[in-house]
Amino acid sequence: MFTQDGIVTKEMFESSLPSPQRRRKGPYAVMECYQKIPCNPCRTSCKFGALQATDDLNALPVRDAEKCTGCGACVSACPGLACFIIDETYSEWEAAIRIPYEMLPLPKEGEKVDGLNRAGVPVAEVRVLKVQAGKILDKTNVVTIAVPKKYLYDIRNIAVRRKEHG
């Protein structure tokens, strides 16, 4: 159960997905934020008005998938590292998922890494498509990985197989 293990269930995840039509159009954000905590950087980071404005600092973020462009500004802005970008149009059998990543070493583009599930267990080998580590991200780097579509819910972290830092 979520309050006992911190693992977002498949039902919770699926209920936060956009419509099937929207999912076929391109990247969208999923906010895996299911506990009302006082926090609003995702709302202020969104330049497209996709996150419903509210005076309630504790309100859960509500993403309007029609306004969301999947730009990813929320991914590095979220202090809880709970925002991800999913692009199901990447290829026929793979989705591109953008994850916040604050560990070292950073993976390199094209590198094969372990795709970890929500309990940290490696479930598939995944390919690193892109690594964003610009200064503006302030060390919450963003890694895009190609994930087999059957693991769309499962994979939320990676383990770099090299040991060295940097």
Partner 1 sequence: MLFSDLVVIGGGPAGMSAALAAAGHGIKVTLLERMESLGGQLVKQTHRFFGSESEYAGTRGIRIADILREKVESNRLIDCRRGSTALGIYEDGVVTFEEGTQYKKVNMDRLVVATGASEKMLVFEGNDLPGVYGAGAVQTLMNLYGVLPGRKVLMVGAGNIGLIVTYQLLQAGVRVAAIVDAADHIGGYLVHASKVRRCGVPVLLGTTIRAALGTTEVEGAVIQKLDSHFHPIPGTEQRLDVDTVCLSVGLSPLTELLRLAGCKMRYIPALGGFVPVHNSYMQTSRSDIFVAGDASCVEEASSAMMEGAIAGLSAAISLHVPSAGILEQRERRIRELAALRAGDVGAKIRNGLAVMAD
Site residues (CB under 8 A) for partner 1? Answer: 2-8, 32-41, 44-45, 55-58, 77, 79-82, 102-104, 116-121, 138-140, 156-157, 165
Considering the complex, what minimum distance in angstroms separates the CB of residue 24 from partner 1?
A: 27
Tokens of 44: 């202020």
Closer residue to partner 1 in complex, CB, 132/140? 140
26 vs 123, beta carbon nearer partner 1: 123
**How far is it, in rounded angstroms, from Cα 118 to Cα 49?**
29
Shortest Å, Cβ 8 to partner 1:
6
- Tokens 């199901």, residue? 88
Dist CA 80 CA 78 (whole Å): 5
How many angstroms separate the CA atoms of 119 and 57, rounded? 29
The minimum distance between CB 155 and partner 1, in angstroms, equals 9
